[in-house]
Amino acid sequence: MRKLGQGGVATVAVAAIIIAVAGATVATPVAVDAADVDPDHPLYALERLGERIKRVGAEAQMRERWREYAGLVERGKGMEYKQILEEFVTKMREVAPGDVEAKREVVRWMQEQMPGIGLVQLRLCKEFAERLREELPDVSDEVEEEIAGIENCIRGWQVSPELRENIRARLRLIMERLERIAERHRARIRERVLGYLDVDNLLVDADLRINVEVKMNEIRPPNWAAGFENALDQFELLLTEVQGMLEGAPEDAPGRHAAERLVEVAIELRDKAVAAYEDNNARSALGLIQAARMHLLNAKIILERASEWEPKFRGQWLQWRHEWENMKQELVGEGIWENMLQHREQFLENLRQRWREKMP
């Protein structure tokens, strides 16, 4: 819909007042809705009333809420309007395709928004870090390092689409470090600043859901059950590998803790996927296991790139990576790697023992 400059908004405001005085109570909010004001404008409540009068559908509301929220984030107001993001996520859940054939246009729109959602996540993370810097001047140097990392990610996101998978993982690591800073000084930080953590969770949920729906669009209904079983096998292989990597990761490094948290979420989603499959809901099961695998991939990327992304622990991570690569070669050569799933506990115990020997 058309955007208004200050002059256009003023014109609409005057028109709304004239119509209201004339008694056209229905025409007023409809006129404001047509003008398309944003949530931080005084007439926004009338725009929403106009939507209800016109009975705007859930899909159109979803698209409008995202347009509004992305604009707010661009203006540095994303943390103040969490309710707009919540409404977007709610509407997205309502219109998420249950029948892919009937909702191809929704999936296409979601796919188009994927780069924008990643950029919004990065900009919001920067806003959060800047607020922390203001609230905690005594640790501003520490926060400044994270802001520099976020800015680097934003530049990479905009110019190198092929780097976006790595940037998503790096953002999870940056968030781990910012949360640690916030937790150490929680008593000194205003609640509305800490509220960003809820906003971040909502955006992660939206990003995952959209990625999953796009992937689901490639699979036709008769293949959902087979697709789930194949995806579950892939998940279990990756889970075992990541758990093995974590066994030797540096104990106090934020990268380890970020990866562990991602693994915990992935396992929870895996369990929900299995339950859905047992309830004969193959589509839901496939979507959940795909979301679980995305969390695991982020965990693996963090571990693999931690020596670059965590300079304070670079030496430990470089040693870890060297030992892990050698260990993998040994396991492959001994024929143990290819049988990791058949003897998972034995495989992991074997890895624990090797890590104890290499990195006591």
- Please check whether residues 239 and 214 belong to one and the same domain: no
- Please check whether residues 113 and 205 belong to one and the same domain: yes
Task: Report how far residue 151's alpha carbon sits from residue 359's, in angstroms, rounded to the nearest whole number.
Answer: 35
Percent of the chain scored above 90 by pLDDT? Answer: 55
How many CA atoms lie within 13 Å of 221's alpha carbon, on the beta-carbon side? 8
Contacts of 31 (CB under 8 A, 6+ apart): 12, 15, 16, 19, 50
From 23-32, 111-120, 167-176, 336-345, the region with the lowest mean pLDDT: 23-32
Task: Report how far residue 48's alpha carbon sits from residue 83's, in angstroms, rounded to the nearest whole number.
Answer: 13
**Pick from 293, 302, 292, 300: which is nearest to 254 by CA?**
302
Domain that includes residue 266, residue range: 221-360
- Please check whether residues 134 and 213 belong to one and the same domain: yes
**Pick from 1, 23, 11: which is nearest to 68 by CA?**
1
pLDDT attached to residue 232: 95
Burial class (CB in 10 A: 0-12, 13-18, 19+), 40: middle
Task: Report how far residue 322's alpha carbon sits from residue 128's, in angstroms, rounded to the nearest whole number.
Answer: 35
Domain final residue pick, 184, 218, 252: 218
Number of structural domains found in the chain: 2
Task: Reply yes or no on whether the pLDDT at 158 is more than 70.
Answer: yes
- Please check whether residues 194 and 241 belong to one and the same domain: no
- Please check whether residues 214 and 125 belong to one and the same domain: yes
Domain final residue pick, 194, 218, 242: 218
Domain assignment present for residue 31? The answer is no
pLDDT attached to residue 160: 87
Q: What is the pLDDT of residues 64-94, one digit of tens each?
A: 999 999 999 999 898 889 999 999 999 988 8
- Please check whether residues 354 and 241 belong to one and the same domain: yes
Contact, 317 vs 250, CB < 8 A?
Answer: yes
Contacts of 221 (CB under 8 A, 6+ apart): 100, 283
Domain assignment present for residue 21? The answer is no
- Please check whether residues 309 and 331 belong to one and the same domain: yes
Domain assignment present for residue 317? The answer is yes
pLDDT attached to residue 236: 95
- Please check whether residues 202 and 257 belong to one and the same domain: no
Burial class (CB in 10 A: 0-12, 13-18, 19+), 220: exposed
- Please check whether residues 205 and 180 belong to one and the same domain: yes
Query: Going along 193-334, which residue ranges are E strands?
Result: none
- Please check whether residues 241 and 148 belong to one and the same domain: no
One-letter amino acid identity for 209?
R
- Average of pLDDT values for 98-102? 60
What is the dihedral sign for C-alpha 233, 275, 117, 62?
positive
Neighbouring C-beta atoms of residue 110, cutoff 10 Å: 25
Domain assignment present for residue 58? The answer is no
- Please check whether residues 231 and 317 belong to one and the same domain: yes
pLDDT attached to residue 92: 87
Question: Using 50, 70 and 90 to split pLDDT, how confident is the model at 132?
Answer: very high
Task: Report how far residue 8's alpha carbon sits from residue 286's, in angstroms, rounded to the nearest whole number.
Answer: 48
Domain assignment present for residue 108? The answer is yes
Contact, 344 vs 240, CB < 8 A?
Answer: yes
Domain assignment present for residue 57? The answer is no
Task: Report how far residue 123's alpha carbon sits from residue 178's, in angstroms, rounded to the nearest whole number.
Answer: 14
Domain final residue pick, 187, 202, 218: 218
From the centroid of its chain, how far is CA 195? Answer: 16
Domain assignment present for residue 73? The answer is no
How far separated are the first and last CA of the chain, in Å rounded? 62
Q: What is the pLDDT of residues 302-343, one digit of tens each?
A: 999 999 999 999 999 999 999 999 999 998 998 888 888 888
Number of H helices, E strands in the chain: 15, 0
219 φψ region: left (φ > 0), alpha (ψ -120 to 50), beta (else): beta
Domain assignment present for residue 9? The answer is no
- Please check whether residues 343 and 233 belong to one and the same domain: yes
pTM of the prediction? 0.85
